[in-house]
Structure 1
Amino acid sequence: MTGDDEHTRAGRRPRVLKAVGLALAGVLVAGCAAAGWAYWHLNSNIKSVDIDSALGDDRPAKPTPTPTASASAAAPLPTEPVNILVLGSDSRSGEENEALGGGSSSGARSDTAMVVHIDAGRTAATVVSIPRDTLVTRPSCPLESGGSTAVSYGSMFNSAYAVGGPVCAVKTVESITDVRMDHYIEIDFSGFAKLVNALGGVTVTTDEDIDDDDSHLHLKAGTHHLDGKQALALARTRHGIGDGSDLGRIGLQQKLVKALLEQISSTNLLTSPAKLYSVADALTGSLTTDTGLDSLTELTSLGESLKGLSSDEVKTVTMPVVTAPSDPNRVVAKEPAASELWESLR
């Protein structure tokens, strides 16, 4: 090899290294840009309602913080429980919701209502289902357009959302429970189905055959792995099981909640960025929250605080009810059992 060849190779080496460096820098910039776009997209997916401003101070008191031992100086445990009203909306807004059997295009109802109580240490939770057919006194609720709704006696619980949206749903729940709702989360039909599909489906065991033409669900008793559309049908079915009441459907919904928690915990999303993004996109794209949870950072923080909570520590119950004296197709709170249940969550 001549001196000129060595000089030529030595001259090329810095140019090659420079080219590799520029390429790596380009990949890093592109990666950062993609990550930034993904965060922006997921964050902008979330819709929110300022429930605190709408309801003001006329609400149940927040619980007094209880001193709790810190896990570490950097990550202290929460010092108070949190209560979240979770609603499943039957809105027909959008083609996807309509195709999945949403409600009237002129409005929506709270097809599913659950109060999720998470203890101060974030190691146990209680999910209380409120039957949508429960007759309640619906309080006066502020309207976004101005003014307020009238107090209504003996109204179905799910009418609160229909007449006053999330604000009235929260106010009604707080009125009948005397429990402060710290947060509000609503998910629509298409979002629920997409979330289940993004997770790869969900496995549920049914105790009896389900044959419901209304929800288009036909399953033999046993264990089934359901896709999103089937899981949604399971959450909505009522006429193909038991006496056809809302109480039978609630039992299926509670099974589904536990199954989803188990599916999420068994799926290591961190090893698959694409799947993690798919799940996050499905979830955020279907959410309406209060303003305390309306960002990816706040939702992630809540999720991080629950990482020690296993599905075995999640208790599912239904608000105690009895048949309404005025209507055999409706129910009312069973006292004092219902009040004692809500007292345990304050």
Structure 2
Amino acid sequence: MTGHVESGGAGRPKGRRSTVLKIAGLTAAGLLVLGAGAAGLAYWHLDNNIKSVDINQALGDDRPAKAVTTPSASASASASPLPSGSLNILVLGSDSRSGKENKRLGGGSSSGARSDTAMVVHIDAGRKKATVVSIPRDTLVTRPSCPLKSGGSTAVAYNAMFNSAYSVGGPVCAVKTVESITGIRMDHYVEIDFSGFAKLVNALGGVTVTTDEDIDDDDSHLHLAAGTHHLNGKQALALARTRHGIGDGSDLGRIGLQQKLVKALLDQIASTSLFTSPAKLYDVADAVTGSLTTDTGLDSLSELVGLGESLRGLSSAHVTTVMMPVVTAPSDPNRVVAKEPAAGQLWKSLR
């Protein structure tokens, strides 16, 4: 019949269908914009969490030369665009009590901040092997003159405790002191506080560590029987700080525990497929970035993730952990000094 419109889709008024399509399209576009905006906001949030120090600007040319490295043949043949040259990174654990969480985890009433843990991480060209060298905080060293934020510089100090460098001149002086001891230029600097370390372990789902002896340390509040344990963040931090419940009660005993933790963290990162799970990566980044201080070469989320991805092939089985050789200081039985020529040979081998 003339003028009759059937109820099938072919006969639906074009204006109505066009309106529906427009609404659907705008809705989809809106969702995409909101999603991109949320992702951008999350990225901005994480990026701005990271504190940084321009160590290169502060130290200028008064430091060891950069190492010139050539990646291994297998690394060179790889199609991966990730960097693969060798790296030297100074990793410090700060005992700062700033903030409620650090005070709670650190206990006591210590003021200021010192380097509670210091590790020189040397990553071989190709980034498949690494050596982690712990420097005991009680080592007596010649602390070089360091620039200060307020202008001027500190005086050279002889027979100074290694961890005092951070106290008097922050990350810049810590790096300069390590470079003066080792003769090795630090390509990067990473510092994490008590809270950040505990949050990292929790975000990874804990770490599994095997202890060779019972640990009973009332100061760190850690009590573990010898054996294998899965630790949460607070327990892992206590293990990293334990010294009175093991060995001779000195700083040297706990270095072995800290090195176990380094390997345990690598194993846990591998088991969680961190770099193939955006949600897990975000959780870890959100937990850690607010507690990180880096050099300006690592002060963005993209740079940190890029470094992590370049180390994806590094397993705990290919990480060697050692302590800088030391002996009891002649001037103080509670302090140590570098044992020569062994210490010098160790640094030379890394150079």
TM-score per shorter chain, which class? over 0.9
C-alpha offsets along residues 3-52 of structure 1, whole Å, 9 cap, x if unaligned? 25333476544333333322222221111111111111111011000111
1:340 and 2:340 aligned = no
- Other structure's SS at 1:100 match: helix
Alpha-carbon distance in 2 for matches of 1:50, 1:285: 18
Structure 2 residues without counterparts, runs of 5 or longer: none
1:142 pairs, out of 138, 147, 163, with 147
Structure 1 segment 257-276 matched on structure 2, within 5 A: 257-269=262-274, 272-276=277-281
Alpha-carbon distance in 2 for matches of 1:275, 1:64: 35
1:193 and 2:195 aligned = no
C-alpha offsets along residues 201-256 of structure 1, whole Å, 9 cap, x if unaligned? 11111111110000010111111111110100000010001111111100000000
Q: Report the Cα offset of residue 283 of structure 1.
A: 1.9
**Structure 1 residues 257, 103: CA separation in 2 closer, same or farther (over 3 Å shift)?**
farther
**Structure 1 residues 151, 102: CA separation in 2 closer, same or farther (over 3 Å shift)?**
farther
2:50 pairs, out of 43, 46, 65, with 46
Alpha-carbon distance in 1 for matches of 2:302, 2:277: 20
More off after superposition, 65-74 vs 36-45: 65-74
Does the Cα contact within 8 Å between 1:103 and 1:109 map onto a contact in 2?
A: no
1:286 pairs, out of 287, 291, 307, with 291
**Structure 1 residues 99, 147: CA separation in 2 closer, same or farther (over 3 Å shift)?**
same
Does the Cα contact within 8 Å between 1:93 and 1:105 map onto a contact in 2?
A: no
User: How large is the RMSD of aligned CA atoms in angstroms?
Assistant: 1.8
1:234 and 2:236 aligned = no
Structure 1 segment 160-179 matched on structure 2, within 5 A: 160-179=165-184
Match of 2:7 in 1: 5
Identity of aligned residues (%): 80
1:223 and 2:228 aligned = yes
Alpha-carbon distance in 2 for matches of 1:270, 1:58: 37
Task: Work out the number of aligned pairs and report it.
Answer: 344
**Structure 1 residues 23, 222: CA separation in 2 closer, same or farther (over 3 Å shift)?**
same
More off after superposition, 231-240 vs 21-30: 21-30
Alpha-carbon distance in 2 for matches of 1:15, 1:192: 54
2:311 pairs, out of 299, 306, 313, with 306
Q: Report the Cα offset of residue 273 of structure 1.
A: 3.5
TM-score by length of 1: 0.95
Match of 1:71 in 2: 77
Does the Cα contact within 8 Å between 1:186 and 1:287 map onto a contact in 2?
A: yes
- Other structure's SS at 1:43 match: helix
Q: Report the Cα offset of residue 258 of structure 1.
A: 0.3
Letter in 2 for 1:184: Y
More off after superposition, 67-76 vs 163-172: 67-76
Alpha-carbon distance in 1 for matches of 2:261, 2:79: 37
Structure 1 residues without counterparts, runs of 5 or longer: none
1:56 and 2:60 aligned = yes
